[in-house]
Structure 1
């Protein structure tokens, strides 16, 4: 799916008017009037879209500031799940690490919801992303990532957590926090899971090491949350699994975007070289 296809899905769904593309990843995300519309890449994402809507309703009931759904069920339009969300007011400022931590603390204190949440299948998307990449990526690189995935899968499952497992965001980054007039709000709920709380914290540790998050920003995050996941003996292993997934995630964009292909190659090379500090760039 490219942007043109996503826009065609909007039209076929009866969602007309000027649509501004906000993001393009697992979903094409558009601002359309007072709505935000997410168009999934394929029908296989329908179940996840249904769960994301259920999560939004649950968080509203629990009093966790989060994006709210405009329709209770997803639409399936020409094989693409489509979900509608209330558009948030304009951001007052970019979200910081401490804003994220302030939302993770109450989220991590919640008991399980009244519906089943999956485990955080960190490596489950690797095969799909590599399939979407097709021949745009080197087959040896794809095979290398599959081997890493397989090696990490069993080890991650055997980790002993420091924190009590339970609901997590699953992609806990400041970019998934919107700071509006009423304060920070969680967005992008599609990876909310029930698993090790450390998943949400390793993301920020990796941001410090790979994506250029300043050390003082990381200190603000750990101070606001109350613990530094790097003190945990499982941190390096969970980080390695996430790096594998993050590398494969970029691959799906490679067929249509030369910059994505270059970033994919950069990431694979750093993993092959065993260099944990080569700078990666958000995509």
Structure 2
């Protein structure tokens, strides 16, 4: 869907929610389109078709975190924080204060606080493989043989997950805890964004996101990872089940890149590099060249 059409949906949603500020400014237009309303200091988030339940659940999660006194993005203080426009679920949020990506230590501290909470009844269990099959199918820009390998690798990971090693007690997890989703405001408050993947699961899942930044990609150095471990109080890489979570996270990142390449051919090189890494064509970890996809 074009940015022009998504912008029109954002304006329709504002009108449906009773807002008069229709000056929508794009922040990010990808799987979920996000717009600012500068005058109202609100954010409009447009989800994909078929994601109504997930969008409503994200508002519930944000409200739960607010009541638990865990800093996170907050629903807007308006009467209707959720509307449907055509087939698109649209939610409204308070604009964030000036912020930056969280450091490894800040992410660890925030996760420790989140993981200590008692989960609410509406939180469902983690699905590590959500939408991966569809992303592989959509990645027609990749060679057919690589797509076939990705499907087989996905089957292998699913089988390994069903026979996984038990770790720490399951509880609330963010689900996608990297510095784009765990940010620190200018006043020093670290808060969670993008609550779409928040669920009940192994706390090791959240810790793996930072661990592989060091062990798989070299995005952070040994000192930064040591500080992360010290702040959280546990090193997930010493756990015997770490390799499986690492492999699943790397697979998710690869499938995301493959889907992005199918939409924008300039990202093909990054997608192919990730596939080649998983297939052993680029040697041992840490792999050079993995870059964040906006």
TM-score by structure 2 length? 0.88
Question: Which of 145, 157, 162 is 1:157 aligned to?
Answer: 162
Partner of 2:258: 251
Partner of 1:226: 233
Question: Which of 140, 154, 172 is 2:177 aligned to?
Answer: 172
Larger radius of gyration: 2
RMSD (Å), alpha carbons: 2.0
Match of 1:241, SS state, is: helix
TM-score by structure 1 length? 0.91
Range that drifts further, 124-133 or 165-174: 124-133
Question: Which of 77, 80, 89 is 1:81 aligned to?
Answer: 89
Offset at 1:14? 3.5
Match of 1:29, SS state, is: strand
Distance 1:153 1:55, change over 3 A: same
Q: More relative contact order in 1 or in 2 (CA 8 Å, sep 6+)?
A: 1
Partner of 2:44: 37
Offset at 1:12? 2.8
User: Is residue 210 of structure 2 the alignment partner of residue 201 of structure 1?
Assistant: no
Contact 1:74 1:81 in 2 (8 A): yes
Offset at 1:265? 0.7
Partner of 2:278: 271
Q: Could you give the per-residue CA deviations for residues 187-234 of structure 1, whole angstroms, max 9, x where no partner exists?
A: 111100101111001111111122612222212211110111000001
Distance 1:276 1:113, change over 3 A: same
Match of 2:120, SS state, is: coil
Q: Could you give the per-residue CA deviations for residues 68-124 of structure 1, whole angstroms, max 9, x where no partner exists?
A: 011665322222221111001112x44211111111011101112132x22221212
Distance 1:262 1:20, change over 3 A: farther
Contact 2:218 2:286 in 1 (8 A): no
User: Is residue 138 of structure 2 the alignment partner of residue 128 of structure 1?
Assistant: no
Q: Is there any run of 5+ residues in structure 1 with no aligned partner, and where?
A: none
Partner of 1:113: 120
Q: Is there any run of 5+ residues in structure 2 with no aligned partner, and where?
A: 16-20
In structure 2, distance between residues paired with 1:112 and 1:137 = 40
- Name the count of aligned residue pairs: 279
Partner of 1:183: 189
Contact 1:202 1:229 in 2 (8 A): yes
Match of 2:279, SS state, is: helix
Distance 1:162 1:106, change over 3 A: same
Partner of 2:18: none
In structure 2, distance between residues paired with 1:151 and 1:257 = 29
Distance 1:21 1:216, change over 3 A: farther
Moved over 6 A (4+): none
Question: Which of 88, 97, 104 is 1:97 aligned to?
Answer: 104
Offset at 1:138? 2.6
